[in-house]
Structure 1
């Protein structure tokens, strides 16, 4: 499977030595670190860097859910392209979908994370701020997620 024509943010990396297991393949837990790295870059590209959100003090975006499916090995030195899109945009949460594509464009893994807008003062979920919602909307995948 290759990437779809739907709107996705793209992030590239190469599997480094320190992330490989003894067989020379990506150690499974690093997939979530790569997803988070792509998420950080995505939020910065939207004009909502995580450092600014945390420093702003009004709300946070903790994870409520994370999952991954591995389709084929990712090997030491292999270039990986991560494509990220918004699978769902709710009142106080949003779900991100990640495709991990190998150097040949074939699907190596998928991941999903659900982020909740948590009010610092309210100490509970709050509505996604209008500016953030507007920034996320162009990346909605709809039925293509």
Structure 2
């Protein structure tokens, strides 16, 4: 299996609804923060360099998620990311948020596309980013995943 990008996030008051659990749109903000962390810390292409100097972005083209258990104010969630598909300009990741006991709270499959932010058209991922991204791809291709 390839590397897994992982970090943690604390569930804050701003993330929660009146019941004291994460309000589902806040998970998407945490997901976007996590993708931004991965690009900076895992791929070496931070969003400031990508967007400002590189005139590139990685908007979400498709998102599937399953909420399996609530997360509560004050908890620390572990976020894990694996790459399941890499194309010329698009890539798919699987992300899992889990609690301290390892129980899944949220599972996401997300396809993002590298675009030129001036024309909003797809552009190839830079070679250095593709090389870094490949580290998070499974070593075995028996699960139907692919690198194109």
TM-score by length of 1: 0.87
Q: Which moved more, 1:133-142 or 1:24-33?
A: 133-142
Mapped to 2, the partners of 1:120 and 1:108 lie a distance apart of 33
State whether structure 2 residue 119 is matched by structure 1 residue 99.
no
Asked if 1:125 corresponds to 2:115, the answer is no
Query: 1:58 offset after TM fit, Å?
Result: 4.2
Q: C-alpha distance in 1, partners of 2:69/2:144?
A: 22
Matching residue of 2:33? 37
Q: Tell me what 1:9 maps to.
A: 5
Change (3 A) 1:124 1:105: same
Which residue of structure 1 lines up, in the alignment, with residue 14 of structure 2? 18
Runs of 4 or more off by more than 6 Å in structure 1?
Answer: none
Task: Answer yes or no: is the 8 Å Cα contact 1:6–1:144 preserved in 2.
Answer: no
- Whether contact under 8 Å (2:51, 2:117) holds in the other structure is no
Cα contact 1:93–1:117 (8 A) shared by 2: yes
After superposition, the CA RMSD in angstroms is 2.0
CA contact 1:64–1:116 (8 Å) conserved in 2: yes
Report how far residue 113 of structure 1 moved: 2.0
Mapped contact 1:99–1:109 kept (Cα < 8 A): yes
* Secondary structure at 2:73 match in 1: coil
Count the aligned residue pairs.
Answer: 141
Report the CA distance shift for 1:104/1:123 in structure 2 as closer, same or farther (over 3 A): closer
For residue 117 of structure 1, report the CA deviation from its aligned partner: 1.5
Structure 2 residue runs of 5 or longer lacking an equivalent are none
